[in-house]
């Protein structure tokens, strides 16, 4: 996702929370719930966002209802009694327990939208709709106004749950907040710096993001800057050398995280050798060629503690099914999950991009459903995100999304 994506898409452009409830032995969910971090924004973001932006409403802590003790009869009963258990009522809505949420409330948590900073009223509406995350677009210049607007967005989420607020902050041409936080060099230039300087630059910039009320940066770009590829042409990659690209990406990610801003490493499995996926459906080398080369920077960022990965709309023989981009590929997302671990959060690049929807002859909303069904945690939709919520709600009600049990075992993990 870059500036062209959002111009083109218009000015308007890990495990499920319910599975945590089942693991704790509470009541079952009344409908299938997919394993994802969008749902997990209740888990992921409630730890990160809600705690950071909302005062606790119950200082005494969670309420515990003690079981009612059975009372022994005063005298023996000569005849057997027929014991009738009262029907178990449907679970009441509990803001802190996604197992009690409606399908639409759950579906909204699966969607990440894109909103221009000049139209934060739309971001407020998306937060009120319960979307799991919002990526900022545009070029704001008034930091005080932006901070005030973002505070309204964070406060607008239902039941005190805020969306995760992110922004494209790579440096060079892809940097939303340059008018507020200052200009960053390109990744190409920073790739020649010592890692300590890269990390400190990321840390200082992230401190400014944090002060504005943002939670995540859609960076670093871990794609190799291979000659002739889109990433090299746009100077968005640190290096063509896998070892150097990995080291720089780790330094950038660490700097962000050290300042309290989540890093989102992108665009897995590596966009370096590909054409522009905003307008085409690019293919990258087969999986065996990506091993030890394009995949290395992603693996090292994840080993260093990164937990969020943006998946690109890239086709790779042996990794993705024929004609299917990694964002919609069950096999590719299974491979990524195995490499990233069960605690990682998998976010698609915008399903509004040509390589994800138009190239397959499907609408972005259908691409969102296919991405979540394939194993993505969040589907980013920069066009009509509420239509994607409608489609995911219908899929949840129809039982066509896989349950957490069907997708495997997911350990309890939060990002604090």
Residues classed as catalytic: 278, 349
| Cross-strand bridge partners of residue 345 | 308
Full 3-state SS string of 151-199: HHHHHCCHHHCCCEEEECEEECCEECCHHHHCCCCCHHHHCCCCHHHHH
Nearest one of 177, 174, 39 to 102, comparing CA atoms? 39
| Contact assessment for residue 145 and residue 116, using Cβ atoms and an 8 Å cutoff | no
Q: Please give the radius of gyration of the chain, using alpha carbons only, rounded to the nearest integer.
A: 23
Residues 298 and 332 sit within 8 Å (Cβ to Cβ): no
Helix (H) / strand (E) element for 17: namely helix 17-23
Phi then psi for 146, rounded to 5 degrees? Answer: -65, -45
Does an H or E element contain 301, and which? Answer: helix 295-303
Contact yes or no for 9/378 (Cβ under 8 A):
no
What are phi and psi for residue 218, nearest 5 degrees? -80, 70
Nearest-angstrom CA–CA distance, 146 and 140: 7
Q: Is 358 helix (H, G, I), strand (E, B) or coil?
A: helix
CA distances from 122 to 18, 38, 45, 130, 347 (A): 28, 19, 20, 13, 21
Q: How many helices (DSSP H) and strands (DSSP E) are in the chain? A: 18, 10
Q: Can you read off the two tokens belonging to residue 15? A: 């495990």
Instruction: Please tell me whether residue 45 adopts helix, strand or coil conformation.
Output: helix
């Amino acid at each position: 996702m870059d500036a062209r994506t959002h111009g083109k898409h218009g000015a308007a452009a890990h495990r499920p929370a319910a599975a945590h409830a089942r693991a704790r032995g509470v009541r079952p969910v009344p409908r299938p719930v997919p394993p994802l971090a969008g749902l997990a924004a209740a888990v992921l973001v409630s730890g990160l966002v809600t705690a950071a932006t909302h005062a606790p409403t119950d200082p005494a802590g969670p309420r515990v209802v003690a079981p009612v003790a059975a009372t022994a009869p005063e005298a023996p009963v000569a005849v057997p009694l027929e014991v009738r258990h009262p029907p178990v009522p449907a679970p009441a809505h509990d803001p802190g327990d996604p197992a009690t949420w409606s399908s639409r409330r759950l579906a909204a948590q699966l969607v990440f939208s894109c909103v221009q900073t000049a139209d934060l009223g739309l971001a407020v509406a998306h937060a009120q709709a319960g979307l799991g995350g919002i990526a900022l677009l545009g070029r704001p210049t008034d930091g005080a106004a932006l901070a005030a607007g973002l505070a309204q967005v964070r406060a607008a989420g239902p039941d005190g749950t805020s969306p995760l607020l992110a922004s494209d902050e790579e440096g060079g041409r892809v940097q939303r907040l340059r008018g507020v936080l200052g200009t960053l060099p390109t990744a190409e230039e920073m790739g020649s710096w010592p890692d300590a300087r890269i990390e400190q630059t990321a840390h200082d910039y992230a401190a400014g993001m944090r002060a504005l009320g943002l939670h995540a940066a859609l960076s670093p770009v871990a794609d190799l800057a291979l000659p002739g590829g889109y990433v090299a042409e746009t100077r968005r990659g640190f290096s063509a050398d896998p070892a150097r690209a990995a080291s720089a990406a780790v330094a950038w990610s660490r700097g962000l995280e050290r300042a309290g801003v989540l890093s989102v490493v992108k665009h897995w499995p590596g966009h370096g050798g590909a054409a522009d996926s905003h307008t085409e459906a690019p293919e990258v080398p087969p999986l065996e060629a990506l091993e030890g080369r394009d995949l290395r920077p992603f693996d090292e960022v994840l080993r260093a503690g990164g937990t969020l990965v943006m998946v690109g709309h890239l086709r790779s023989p042996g990794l993705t099914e024929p004609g299917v981009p990694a964002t919609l590929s069950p096999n590719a997302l299974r491979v990524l999950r195995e490499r990233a671990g069960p605690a990682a959060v998998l976010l698609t690049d915008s399903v509004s991009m040509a390589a994800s929807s138009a190239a397959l002859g499907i609408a972005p909303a259908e691409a969102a459903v296919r991405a979540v069904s394939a194993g993505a945690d969040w589907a980013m939709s920069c066009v009509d995100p509420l239509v994607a919520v409608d489609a995911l709600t219908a899929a949840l009600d129809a039982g066509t999304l896989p349950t957490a049990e069907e997708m495997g075992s997911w350990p309890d993990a939060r990002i604090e």
